[in-house]
Amino acid sequence: MSDSLILTIIIVAVVAVVAIGAIAFVTKGRKPKTPYTSEHDADDLPTGQSAEGDTDAAADTAGASDAPVAVEEPPAPAAQLDVPEPVQGRLARLRARLTKSNNMFSKGLLALLSQDSIDEDVWEEIEENLLMADLGTEPALELVDALRERVKIEGSKDPVRVKAMLREELLKLVDPSLDRSYLPAPHPDRPSIIMVVGVNGVGKTTTIGKLARVLVAEDKDVLLGAADTFRAAAAEQLATWGDRVGVPTVRSEIDGADPASVAFEAVSAGIEQEVDIVMIDTAGRLQNKVGLMDELGKIKRVVEKKATIDEVLLVLDATTGQNGLQQAKVFSEVVNVTGIVLTKLDGTAKGGIVVAIQRQLGVPVKLVGLGEGPDDLAPFNPEDFVDALLEG
């Protein structure tokens, strides 16, 4: 074999080896195309690339990976908040309801006082009417004595004049001079604190929700504390009321949590968030349950390590009559009740409980509830109340 042939064979072999090596290097450097998976957010996409565009690329490599394509969820629709009714509108509507519920009471009294001759039997019947309205023995006797004296002096049988005298005497008993403000004075460094107490079944948690609506209607920032850990679903009920008007609720996710701790956290959150008012719900303490009443006192003591409680509102069912008065006495001994909220006042003619409670406890009725609707709670106004009793 000649030298030139051998040289040609060597050159061809070297070229072949180099070509094979180059092909192997290029093949080794390639990577399969992978889809965009849900491990990334849509915001991680490169500029100019959309989630929809990447879907096509993923479809091309469906055989290489089953990973899902990322899809951005549309934003949830904004919650629709209730718009509370203004206070003045509540007062007019509630007065109409109270007038209707006390129609028979007013007509009975006026009929007796307008008779041609008012003897002792008539006065006793008038007194019975007042007692049946839960006015209380002492206030009823005072009212009868005052009316007897005025009718005797004036000698008037005119129904209009008799009604005016009755109104004046009733108004004295209701006592317009009492402080009925349910809005505590503001503080520069903390929210005002309202604690709400009452027995089971009087509508306490519902009343707090309705009062939150009243306060929101008056442009107050409110926070609710669900310290009723004794009754199932109480915290959820309160939170639902808060959600309806955009009011936050501090609650515990632990069943049977310490009520005092929840109340303390609510006040702390209120201070941190700089709200105007914190309202604390409490369990429906039965007045004959000494342990539960002691717990109520503990809540007050623990909360006041953080901030003084400005108002303690006791919720009473007006249909319970004198039994409600006994409840009020026990609660006032434990937590120094500063105001009364009377619910279900339209379901009975026993409006006299207003006078009885105030007379024996020196505690004013500040709010009244006259229905099941969310706006059926309004500030108590003595003049409107007496007028409603006597209208019809």
> Binding site for GTP: residue ranges?
198-205, 281-285, 343-346
How far is the C-alpha of 387 from the C-alpha of 176, rounded, in Å? 13
Residues in the chain: 392
CB atoms within 10 A of CB 200: 11
- Bridge partners of 278? 193, 223
> How far are the Cα atoms of 135, 137, 300, 368 from residue 380, in angstroms, in the given order?
17, 23, 26, 6
- Write out the binding residues: 198-205, 281-285, 343-346
CA-to-CA dists, residue 303 to 223, 319, 340, angstroms: 15, 32, 21
Instruction: Output the six-digit token pair for 256.
Output: 């049977």
Contact 183, 339 (CB under 8 A): no
In a 10 Å sphere around its CB, with 0-12 CB exposed, 13-18 middle and 19+ buried, how is residue 220 labelled?
middle
Tell me if 135 sits within 8 A of 352, measured CB to CB. yes
Helix (H, G, I), strand (E, B) or coil at 328: helix
